[in-house]
Amino acid sequence: MAFMPISKQDMQQRGIQQLDFVYVIGDAYVDHPSFGAAIISRLLEYHGYTVGIIPQPDFHDPNSVLCLGQPRLAWLVTAGNIDSMVAHYTAAKKKRSDDLYSPGGRAGKRPDRAATVYCKMCRAAAPGIPLLCGGLEVSLRRFAHYDYWKDTVMESVLADSDADILMYGMGEHSIIEIADRLAAGEDVHTIHDVRGTCYLCDPKDTPYGAVQCPSFDQVLSDKRQYAKACRIQYDWQDEVYGKTIIQRQRDKMLVQNPPARSLTTEELDLVFSLPYERNYHPCYEKDGGVPSIKEVQFSITHNRGCYGFCNFCSIALHQGRRVTCRSQESIIKEAKLLTQMDNFKGYIHDVGGPTANFRGPSCDKQLEHGLCKGKKCLAPKPCKNLNVDHREYLSILRKLRALPKVKRVFIRSGIRYDYLIEDKNEEFMNELIEHHISGQLKVAPEHCSAAVLDKMGKPHIEAYKRFQSKFYKITGRIGKEQYLVPYLMSSHPGSTLADAVELALFLKENKIHPEQVQDFYPTPGTISTCMFYTELDPYTLEPVYVAKDPSDKAMQRVLLQYYKPENQRRVIEALIKAGRRDLIGHGAGKLVQPDTRYTREQKEFEKKKTDKNSKSSRYGKGRNASKNQQRSRNTHNNGNNKNGRNNRNKH
């Protein structure tokens, strides 16, 4: 095994004169199957192509992408595992000081909107070479999209980047088909029929039979049209019944072909069997390594896709809603490989994926007919056709626990408690709590208000209450001190200050003290981001309340951490604004104790305000009296205006 070439010297050692593909990536180079660039490069290598990696080139120097020479077949470009803007900025748009996907965890190694910048660098350095872009950043920006950081609607990244083809979603099928056709001598500008890709064309060349979205100009000027476009993009995002979607981008037409087919179990097994180094490149040792490897180096991905389909999540538009999985044999083989690594300490950190406890499709119907358009499998209540079965997943976990050198096997990537609680067989939940939790289990109820959860696409809080009750019952029975750690989100579209108060009361009632609260982050392409921008529900076109004012968002956030002394004053302000003074005071039914200093200052402020109003009132009466007198005089004059006018005219 060896890393892909990152220098001319590496190419010489392998006897490579010219690489077939040069892959420009926004992350540090980590050769592990949790990183998309590692999978694509290894898969191309498996199919006989040579690939060189240029990790985080100097974006101030366009020629830095030529350090490996020009590729024979095409440039490949990705911003990395996560959106570069999310990597750089918090939900409050503040610059981050760290970047877990960069050497030493230090920020600043990649530009904002990295995929676009890198594509333009490649185009400038070698104008005639085909240019293909992929990865999460471009996948979610393939249509005209609201950009939170610029607070405006932007064109498709394909129109901005100068790339020839945009590969969206999981790109294994797409990249191999394109590579084979380029190698056979086909012009990149004629490769317009590959599933899972987008291209631009003249409007006169638009394919027939496509579903048309409102154009870029329409969604830029009309939020209702933006909401309609969002629904179209999601409704036809299915590999069974999905259609070609088109959207006018100024003088070009964007064409999105139907999604790529999900990988079969055999294909997924192959992807995860490729000869990864399972570490960052040795060139980063001097910088202290790449932090993002720590959580995934001894973790195992067993599935892809998620039919949970939360509105704020990008998985549905990127990986897709159909769940596919690896075979038990492939997973056990990878686990044995982990146990042979020098730094393995006996702990498998995770056996999961987008959702850890999904194995296979949500129902039998979707295999033939696709996933139900505009519906959720689990929200607001589980579908009656839902297949709930943890037996195969439990079998895998039991086999992993029995392996030599394995001390513990943890699950950290996210259990869907709303799915788990529907399983009438309690074996999995019992063994999950007994063997696979390290003191805490993280789950994501997100909120308690039914109105907010409906906008999130999440099940109602009753499902969480059932799960919580059973969790602590089992924990108590086996004599372990273990806790649920709920993920919570403030200021999601639809969440009012009153909803935040309701959530605070729920947290107090259940003795939950969240240490971290996530403000809603409007990332490109999601349904929730559409609601944030348009203030409309794209499926009903009904208005949605959105907390956009920083003060409003801050109040919702502090209510979720009402118990912190430093939040006392802000919580009081929020409760007063929400009309819930009844929750300020001492005793069991109160949310926060009065701040005597704040109360004194508030009384002084209100007294001054009252005095000022009283003074204004007194002065106002005088002014009004004067106005009344003037009005009376005018009326008197008007009564004689005919004679007056006659007299003036005479003079």
**Both tokens of residue 481?**
């001190």
**AA letter at 444:** A
CB contact set of 105 (below 8 Å; sequence gap of 6+)? 98, 99, 288, 290, 291
The torsion angles phi and psi of 185, rounded to 5 degrees, stand at: 100, 5
Q: Where are the domains of the chain?
A: 8-191, 462-594, 596-627
- For residue 522, whether the previous peptide bond is cis, meaning omega lies within 30 degrees of 0, is no
* Contact indicator for 295, 117 with CB cutoff of 8 Å: no
Fold category of 8-191 in CATH:
Rossmann fold (3.40.50)
**Topology agreement, domain 8-191 and domain 462-594:** no
Residue 648 pLDDT level (bands cut at 50, 70, 90): very low
CA 649 to chain centre: 79
Q: What is the pLDDT of residue 627?
A: 41
Across 345-388, where does the E strand assignment appear? Answer: 347-348, 350-352
**Is the model more confident about 179 or about 604?**
179
For 53-104, write each residue's pLDDT tens digit.
Answer: 999 999 999 899 999 999 999 999 999 999 999 999 999 999 999 999 999 9
Residue 628 buriedness (CB in 10 A; 0-12 / 13-18 / 19+)? exposed
Residue 637 pLDDT level (bands cut at 50, 70, 90): very low
Residue positions counted in the chain: 651
3-class secondary-structure state, position 384? coil
The mean per-residue pLDDT over the stretch 28-49 comes to: 98
Distance, in Å, from the CA atom of 603 to the CA atom of 592, rounded to the nearest integer, reads: 18
**402 DSSP 8-state letter:** T
Distances (CA, A) of 135 to 82, 268, 269, 279, 324: 8, 18, 21, 20, 19
pLDDT over 60 (residue 368): yes
3-class secondary-structure state, position 429? helix
Q: What is the pLDDT of residue 595?
A: 85
The mean per-residue pLDDT over the stretch 322-338 comes to: 97
For 554-595, write each residue's pLDDT tens digit.
Answer: 999 999 999 999 999 999 999 999 999 999 999 888 999 998
CB contact set of 411 (below 8 Å; sequence gap of 6+)? 350, 351, 352, 356, 357, 397, 432, 436, 437
Estimate the share of the chain in helix, then strand, then coil, as percent rounded to the nearest 5.
45, 15, 45
3-class secondary-structure state, position 70? coil
Distances (CA, A) of 465 to 308, 334, 614: 19, 36, 52
Distance, in Å, from the CA atom of 356 to the CA atom of 301, rounded to the nearest integer, reads: 9
Distance, in Å, from the CA atom of 32 to the CA atom of 116, rounded to the nearest integer, reads: 25
Mean pLDDT value across the chain: 92
* Contact indicator for 568, 593 with CB cutoff of 8 Å: yes
Residue 61 buriedness (CB in 10 A; 0-12 / 13-18 / 19+)? exposed
pLDDT over 70 (residue 632): no
CATH code, residues 462-594: 3.30.750
Instruction: Give the residue from 124, 101, 104, 105 showing the smallest Cα distance to 55.
Output: 101
Distance, in Å, from the CA atom of 33 to the CA atom of 38, rounded to the nearest integer, reads: 6
Q: What is the pLDDT of residue 491?
A: 97
Residue 517 pLDDT level (bands cut at 50, 70, 90): confident
